[in-house]
Structure 1
Amino acid sequence: MTSSEPGRPELGRPERAWRLGAQAPAGFVPERIVAQPDGSGLMFGWRGGPGPVDRVGVILRVYADGGLRTVWEGPGWVRAGDLLDGAGFAVVGHPGPRFTLLRAVSVDVGGWVELGEIPAQSVTSALIMGPDEVWLLGADTLIRWKAGEFEAKSAPGRRDSTRDRLFRVGDQLVLGTPEGLFLSRDDGQRWGHRNVDGAHVRALAFPYLAAVQDGRVRLGRLEGAFVEWLGDVTDPGDPLSMGWTARPLGAAMQLALVPDDPAAHPGLAIAASHPDGGFVTSLLALPPNEAWLGLAGDKGALALTETRRILQAGRA
């Protein structure tokens, strides 16, 4: 990233100390990892054969001390999930395809209950907006579950089911699409639009965002009705996750990138902000797939190696 300009808050560099956690079940394949700032979190995925009918869905709870517990298993594969302030939701895929929604009675010790079949043939991600509310995104799909009811929603703009993202900014739902950001405070009844100079926002940790524009990965900060571009990340790839924490001298952040060319750049790159406003990059020997890594805060991270060993970073 380019150096910071005079008068701009500096970006502090977070020290990172990776630690090895427990061994995940043999053959476990993650579909989504949600990290917390202390390195704990949830891993959603499956184990079994390559065919959908042979799979067993699995949800793993990873604790800050490196401990691991299987909190749910069942037929199918866990396609998506989210964790927020003790609330947990998960989407289980079944042959057909069809999808069911799970909710955690207790994130820490298990007790996940089925809430019913999702009225959609595609679900790729889930975002919790409250203890009793989760949004589901897929190809031609935007659904809200709240208080026991599924409700289909519509959003404006051109959609890309493989690259669209849902984000949470306080009580505001944000949909990132190729046409910019669409924002709603009223359960998707009305949508505001923010055109971020034609960039496709791929990661958002308000007020900071990472976007792809003309083949470049750009880092920006939302300022009112516009975005202030802070610079470019030199590492090639597709932003998948970012986090930041305010510091006395500014903000420290981290950004993960899926490499454009996994053969030339195997692994997932984590770029941590540097005091001069630039980035220092570390490369994790992980499969080049965003499902194997989650970030939180300025240095919280949870990842899974190809040998199914858990990697953690963060602070309590």
Structure 2
Amino acid sequence: MAERDWERLGELAPELRVGSVAASRDGFGLVGASVEPATGTLADRLRARRAQLHRVTARGLERVYEGPGWIQAVDCHGTLCVALGATLKPVGSGSDYHLLVSTDGGRKWSVRGPVPAPSATQVLAVSAEEAWVLGAFFLGRTADGGASWTEVSLEGERHAQAERLRRTERGVAVLGKGLRHTHDGGATWGRETSGNARLVDVDGAHALAVESGQARIGERRGGEVRWLTPLPPGREPLRLAAAGSVLRVLTRHAEPGRGVDPCVHQSTDGGRSWATQKLEVGPHVDVAGPYGLGLDLRGRVFGRLS
């Protein structure tokens, strides 16, 4: 069965700049955006930025939060949603970060305080009390809803462009050259190997990776991965959504000069064969479970949320 076409669900105001998108397994999505003045110096415009979060369902869009700065990242885990907000530092260069939390599926949001990270580009929701952030040379965790943060020690240096934060059956995981997981807040870490492949995503018993420029999907067995039929060539893997024998993989073109060209590849036989659907959206796109959400360069919102 081919992937169903995504429907047009609405459109953002033209002055909004999209920063992040997240699809939820519960049939909704979130769009993090910001608006800034059209005139002034770059620093003045950044300081005047206003962040917005929009909740998206099959019925359309609803703005659910507005505050200072911009939205760096969003994540959904059931009815728990977290967002990483950022503002320009008042003095010097760089950004200050703060955690936003919703416990009702993204309808209402509260600011939970600063995130003392020198750099942060990913956020992961675990529970109403626990969240993680990942940035350049930084991995941090809160166990009290954002009131305080602890920098987590893990072998090697953190590279947010090459690593991903994910939830697994063994706890929080950092994906990259293999998978390292912890069930005790980072006090101890286990490991799964992936050969020469760089892991991009995991969902249950399946893993998504890239090896020598080839997107691959495999079955996690013990501490290793058994690779299945490769995905179409020339694609960079982004996201994996698995439900039994149905696998969905979000990819973009592997050559940056060729444009984004996002596609969803679906297999209904456990990864032995694939059907591909091209998406008419830009770089801000996500899939989760049977759902998906994306925006084109004009700010039009498309998705499959029902």
- TM-score, normalized by the shorter chain, greater than 0.5: yes
Letter paired with 2:210:
V
Note the C-alpha offset of 1:158.
4.6
Aligned to 1:33: 21
Q: Give the alignment partner of residue 260 of structure 1, picking from 254, 262, 273.
A: 254
Tell me: CA distance 1:308–1:101, structure 2 relative to 1, closer, same or farther (3 Å): same
Note the 1:283-298 alignment, pairs <5 A: 283-287=278-282, 289=283, 292-297=284-289
CA contact (8 A) 1:208 1:220 kept: yes
Letter paired with 1:188:
G
The SS at the match of 2:162 is coil
Counterpart Cα distance in 2 of 1:237 and 1:69:
33
CA contact (8 A) 1:129 1:171 kept: no
Note the C-alpha offset of 1:314.
4.3
Which is bigger in relative contact order (C-alpha 8 A, separation at least 6)?
1
Note the C-alpha offset of 1:205.
1.2
Counterpart Cα distance in 1 of 2:185 and 2:106:
29
Q: Give the alignment partner of residue 87 of structure 2, picking from 91, 94, 100.
A: 94
Unpaired segments ≥5 residues, structure 2:
90-94
Aligned to 1:45: 33
The SS at the match of 1:122 is coil
Counterpart Cα distance in 2 of 1:192 and 1:74:
39
CA contact (8 A) 2:213 2:236 kept: no
The SS at the match of 2:97 is strand
Note the C-alpha offset of 1:100.
1.1
Letter paired with 2:303:
Q
Matched, 1:24 2:23: no
Number of corresponding residues: 292
More displaced stretch, 88-97 vs 24-33: 24-33
Note the C-alpha offset of 1:39.
4.2
CA contact (8 A) 1:238 1:257 kept: yes
Aligned to 1:195: 193
Letter paired with 1:81:
V
The SS at the match of 1:253 is strand
Matched, 1:222 2:214: no
The SS at the match of 1:232 is coil
Tell me: CA distance 1:199–1:238, structure 2 relative to 1, closer, same or farther (3 Å): same
What do residues 211-252 of structure 1 show as CA deviations (whole Å, max 9, x unaligned)? 111221111110112111112112323211110112xxxx11
Letter paired with 1:202:
V
Matched, 1:240 2:232: no
Alpha-carbon RMSD = 2.0
